[in-house]
Structure 1
Amino acid sequence: MRMRASRLLLFLFCAMLTHAEKLGFAQRDPYVLHDCSNTGNVSSNSAYRKNVNTLLSSLSSNTQSHYGFYNFSVGENSDRVNAVTFCRADLIPIDCQNCVGTSAEELLFRCPNQKEGIVWYMNCTVRYSNNSIFGIMQFESMQHLHNIINVTDPIGTFDQVRETLLDRLRSEAAASTSTLHKFATGKASSPYFDIYALLQCTPDLNQQECSDCLNQSIAKVPTCCGPAIGVRVLTPSCNLRYENNHFYGFTLEAPPPLSSTLAPPAEGTALPI
């Protein structure tokens, strides 16, 4: 009887947690990876470092009013610091703001005296540099993660379906006419499971730059991760992720056809303006 009660309490707790997550009540967004540049160090009491602290501390309060993408600079000449932050485009504003605030704190901790640094969280990216980074595609500092479970696929069908899906979403994300988001989601059916994918660029890139960044990310997948059931490729300018479960916002699915006589829409969706 006691075991049944414990299981019921555990179920109710998980249900409440899931419900809170859907409503946007924030759990702490999970840290994924970071990279601190080796281009140079600064002392903790230098003008440059003070500018880093000031800039990163201000990011979360500014991000919500900039649709999840924000760039700003503090200081002059050699003490000038540039920062860029962007969230997954399917996040509600409060979750984006919380993620950026947490990420900025983590970046200050992870890169205490470096001139450049970047941190990737589950739902957002925060980056700072002493160089100009706005509107510049950067693939360096690329990181990748993959599920340890692989698909057993002797004839390569999974690889073909995955490549076709990622390439289609690359085109959609890059071609987005939105000035706020370059973002696409979609799914494809393999013989083993449905593949759900999300591709995104920072909106300061043009169409060709976004396409190039995502192309390089897609090309990395077979060599870094093989036939893994889930993969992430993270760069300063674009992100790629696919899983065997539906992980992105439900509002981003393609809408149903307007009538039964119309052809169904494509699976992938690029966010409108």
Structure 2
Amino acid sequence: MKTFYFVMLCVISFFVLVFPNGFFGLADDTNRALGSTCKNEENTTVNGVILQTLLNSLASNVVDHHGFYQTIAGENNSRIYGSILCRGDISANNCSDCVRNSTIEASNVFPKCRDVQVLFRWCFLRYSNESFFGDMQELTFTYDFDDIDDPSVVSQGLPFMSGVAATASEKSLMFHTEVLNFNQSEKRYGMAQCTRDISRKDCKRCLDSQLINIRTIRNNTRWEIYGSNCFMWYDDYQFYASVSFLPSAAWRPSSCRSLAAIAVSAALLIVF
């Protein structure tokens, strides 16, 4: 069975290399900075060496831990707690790039801040001098668009996203995508994700709280909600990839690169 998954992973790697522009449906999706927050700013800066150690550790380990990683750097009063989450459908390279951009943003924009949250569309970074691991917070940032949806579609949108939220909270990675087939020409795409340090119950509670907030803009065709522990996306096109390219921490074969290279070479021979 592991051999099968190994071969499939290498096949996926082949398509990522040969079709870098989004063979699996991510072509129209782009990363962008959405905002950042700073709390508990003081007259003195955090220990720059400890902070850089933390950020480097987050960036180095997030892909190996399937897009979510938490760690601690420093001791006693100099201790810093850090967490990084990548969106569940993006590639390992996109995850790494997003993490790098978010860590640069944090260290450059908030050098004095002891509690920072940096939000990009593909990843979410947080660090603090106080532990927040496992504590569900209902902080919400909402992004909606000006286009108004068909009322007959709107009536199904929220129940559909409620189902997406319920399924995401039960998944091992607390991540789920789903398609609402309204008719032959109309589809809506939903995605939900939670940080994996909270319980399944808190994940569902966090997503349900976001759905309550979204009722004020429920007539929109597209909207996105971001929080400290959970996130939701709703759109009229498939903005997410059909598969996740982030490797599993439980099994990550080292020889796939060689097979992927062979596959690319074979493809070039066929093309030329």
User: Which interval holds the TM-score relative to the shorter structure?
Assistant: 0.7 to 0.9
Shift of 1:189: 3.2
Tell me the distance in 2 between the aligned counterparts of 1:131 and 1:65: 25
Answering whether residue 197 of structure 2 is matched by residue 204 of structure 1, we say yes
| C-alpha distance in 2 between matches for 1:98 and 1:42 | 31
Contact 1:139/1:236, CA 8 A, preserved across alignment:
yes
Deviating above 4 A after TM superposition, structure 1's stretches of 4 or more consecutive aligned residues are: none
1:168 equivalent in structure 2: 163
CA RMSD of aligned residues (A): 2.6
Return closer, same or farther for 1:31/1:57 CA change in 2, 3 Å cut-off. farther
Extract unaligned runs of 5+ from structure 2.
1-17, 251-272
CA distances 1:184-228 after superposition (whole Å, capped 9, x unpaired): 1111134783110100001121111000110011111122x3411
Count, aligned residues: 225
Q: TM-score normalized by structure 2?
A: 0.75
1:34–1:110 contact (8 Å) kept in structure 2:
no
- Whichever residue aligns with residue 111 of structure 1, its letter is F
Correspondences of 1:21-170 after superposition (within 5 Å): 21-22=21-22, 30-44=31-45, 46-47=46-47, 49-140=48-139, 142-153=140-151, 157-170=152-165
CA distance in 2, matches of 1:187, 1:115: 40
Q: Which residue of 1 aligns with 2:20?
A: 20
Contact (CA 8 Å) 1:42, 1:115: kept in 2 or not? no
Structure 1 residue 235 corresponds to structure 2 residue 230: no
Work out whether residues 107 and 117 of structure 1, in 8 Å CA contact, stay in contact via their aligned partners in 2: yes
Q: 1:248 deviation in Å?
A: 1.1
Bigger relative contact order, structure 1 or 2 (CA pairs below 8 A, ≥6 apart) = 2
Provide the TM-score with structure 1 as the length reference: 0.74
Please give the alpha-carbon distance, in whole angstroms, between the structure 2 residues aligned to 1:175 and 1:117: 29
1:96 to partner: Cα distance: 1.4
Structure 1 residues 23 and 195: CA distance shift in structure 2, 3 A: closer
Listed as ranges, the gaps of 5+ residues in structure 1 are 1-17, 253-270
**Contact 2:210-2:225 at 8 Å conserved across structures:** yes
SS of equivalent to 1:200: strand
